[in-house]
Structure 1
Amino acid sequence: MNFLGTLLTLCVLVPSAHFADSSIAWCYNLPTCNDTTWPTIATVSCNGSRQSPINIAPGSVQTDPNLNAFTLNNFDSPIAMDTIANTGKTVQINLVRGLSISGGGLSENYDTLQLHLHWGRGASVPGSEHTLNGRRYPMELHIVNSKASYNRNTTLAVADSTGLAALGFLIEEMEGNTTGQPASWQTLSSYLARIPNGGDSVLVTAGVSLNDLLPGVDTTRYYRYLGSLTTPTCDEAVVWTVFKDTIKVSRDVIDRFSSMLHIDNSTSPLMVNTYRNLQPALRVTTQVNSSASKACFSLGLMVLSVLLGRP
């Protein structure tokens, strides 16, 4: 192969939700109802073929030129959060109307409904749902969205194979001996003392936006796959986006989630290890590396100019 053919070949090779069903008695902490039993107690989907979460192996990911940048509408609003609740399974924050996402290779706009978290047992015992190259992170944040055409009707959304879009953010411990950082997460975790028991809920005071919870995350860099809800009934209706950049949070803030919240009341167990175990691998894609593609294109033009004798 000549030099130009080799160059062009190289350029081609360069990479250019949580809706719990209250009618089903499921749990994380008991062998009678933990995730090993979900395929038998929620048989419609929990034993399906596109279940979440999964391990993402970056070396096996394929590129998809349709995965463009997201537009996160009103994610900078300081009044986006409505209530924060201890559901007995997680901490969930319900959002006001008017937030939405578009782009990101999605087929239409999606209304942003709520966010919730998954964790292990403090920073030392990780509890993210998705893993990267087999690594489990201390926590994971999910922002759940449904197709705008369904007008927030989640019954319709879960009946559609792409009715929901979940944004997943892996959370890891911040380096150094910092405490109470970042400030947005310090504020968020301050509400935990007010919702210690399952069923507790309080209003969120204005001041923290969704963007404030995502410091250091480049939302143009992500992995994509078609999967499911990670809680019963495990509906296979989710377009999953897992971002490559992690959210870095100080150890003391991470530890609060597994030390301050009870499944039921103050005499019931603490809420720990609130994640589903990994499911069989699925096809994962990522966005084209535009900078690498542009570099190859420019280099190709330069070589062509030289070969054709043009300045």
Structure 2
Amino acid sequence: LFIQILLDWFKTLILFVAGKGKWCYTSQLCAVSNCSGNSKQFTSCGKDSQSPINIVTSKVKMDWNLKPFTFEGYEKQTAKWVLENDGHSVKVTLQESAKITDGSLNSKYKATQFHFHWGSHGNWGSSPGSEHSIDGERYAMEVSAILAGVTASIRENYPGKKVQMEPLALKSLIPHEKNLTRYYRYAGSLTTPGCNEAVVWTVFEEPIELGQQQVQAFPTTVFFSTNLSLPMMDNFRPIQPLGNRTVYKSSAGAILPPAKALLVITIAYLMVTLFQ
């Protein structure tokens, strides 16, 4: 469905808050002791510029200054990536440089890792697991990648487990170059505690479709628990109020209609600033 580039101005992602214990998703409360399932118990998670949001396309504002992006090092990666279950998601850490510039950003950024959000799967079918939505429609996943090289590496994936995987061309994880000029932009936050409101979100319009088996690999082979008793699913934060914020749209192209296929994903890159 849509691709998201999350630009994090902090160099450290804080997942624990002093005095509040660990946080966890509602879907894992029954298996994790001493954790908080309501992220708003963490002070910064209750502020006014939180993510994710529902993007209402009829209310976005055109910004003629939003320019196309330039991706460096996305053609080829050679160093093996590290895939890890951090207890909340599956993340992949890059081992060599890849950068993003332009897009009307003030700095050059370095891609450091990507991670996944997904719903659930059972005999009744699948439920959507994306965090952001467009015109109220949520999608199967909101992830940084979900290609064969990744899904083949997550078998019986439990918290703390790390494996190396062959790198993919980052170019294959984003829309075709001609579609990278159509995107939304808004100011938001991290979607996990501490929910820092220092994030610039870019949401691309172009969808990416995948096979059903690839989508189902996550809620059926990744686990919240080390004894493999609790499959990891529904690891997404609910939609947050937009409030007084404005969502902007780049000027290139018309708004695409929401994807109807279930087997569509979003991509979210966690970037850290390279140059101030």
Q: TM-score range by the shorter chain?
A: 0.7 to 0.9
Aligned-pair distance for 1:20? Answer: 5.0
CA deviation map 1:242-290 (0-9, x unaligned) = 1101111101100010000111213431100010000002310011137
Contact 1:80 1:209 in 2 (8 A): no
Following TM superposition, the consecutive aligned residue runs of length 4 or more in structure 1 with deviations greater than 4 angstroms are none
Whether 2:57 is the aligned partner of 1:58: answer yes
| Larger of the two Rg values belongs to structure | 1
| One-letter amino acid of the structure 1 residue matched with residue 181 of structure 2 | T
How is 1:245-260 mapped onto 2 (pairs within 5 angstroms)?
A: 245-260=206-221
What is the alpha-carbon distance in structure 2 between the residues aligned to residue 54 and residue 121 of structure 1?
20
Which of 273, 276, 283 is residue 246 of structure 2 equivalent to? 283
Aligned-pair distance for 1:81? Answer: 5.3
What's the TM-score, normalizing by structure 1? 0.69
Whether 2:226 is the aligned partner of 1:226: answer no
Return 5+ residue gaps in structure 2 as ranges. 1-5, 255-276
| Counterpart in the other structure of 2:142 | 140
CA deviation map 1:181-223 (0-9, x unaligned) = xxx7122100011x511100111224x1111223557221111
**Alpha-carbon spacing, 1:246–1:80, altered in 2? closer, same or farther (3 Å):** farther
What is the alpha-carbon distance in structure 1 between the residues aligned to residue 14 and residue 160 of structure 2?
14
Contact 2:16 2:194 in 1 (8 A): no
Whether 2:236 is the aligned partner of 1:269: answer no
The structure with the greater share of residues assigned to helix is: 1
Aligned-pair distance for 1:68? Answer: 0.4
| One-letter amino acid of the structure 1 residue matched with residue 112 of structure 2 | L
Helix, strand or coil at the partner of 1:63:
strand
The structure with the greater share of residues assigned to strand is: 2
| Counterpart in the other structure of 2:39 | 38
| One-letter amino acid of the structure 2 residue matched with residue 191 of structure 1 | S
| Counterpart in the other structure of 1:186 | 148
What is the alpha-carbon distance in structure 1 between the residues aligned to residue 251 and residue 116 of structure 2?
29
What is the alpha-carbon distance in structure 2 between the residues aligned to residue 119 and residue 216 of structure 1?
24
What is the alpha-carbon distance in structure 2 between the residues aligned to residue 245 and residue 20 of structure 1?
31
| Counterpart in the other structure of 2:24 | 27
Which of 197, 201, 215 is residue 162 of structure 2 equivalent to? 201
What's the TM-score, normalizing by structure 2? 0.77
Return 5+ residue gaps in structure 1 as ranges. 1-16, 143-168, 170-183, 292-311
Helix, strand or coil at the partner of 1:111:
strand
| One-letter amino acid of the structure 1 residue matched with residue 22 of structure 2 | A
Aligned-pair distance for 1:80? Answer: 5.9
| One-letter amino acid of the structure 2 residue matched with residue 78 of structure 1 | Q
Aligned-pair distance for 1:110? Answer: 0.9
| Counterpart in the other structure of 1:11 | none
Relative contact order (alpha carbons < 8 A, sep ≥ 6): 1 or 2 greater?
Answer: 2
| One-letter amino acid of the structure 2 residue matched with residue 199 of structure 1 | G
What is the alpha-carbon distance in structure 2 between the residues aligned to residue 255 and residue 288 of structure 1?
36
Whether 2:79 is the aligned partner of 1:85: answer no
What is the alpha-carbon distance in structure 2 between the residues aligned to residue 135 and residue 258 of structure 1?
20
CA RMSD of aligned residues (A): 2.2
Aligned-pair distance for 1:108? Answer: 1.1
Aligned residues: 229
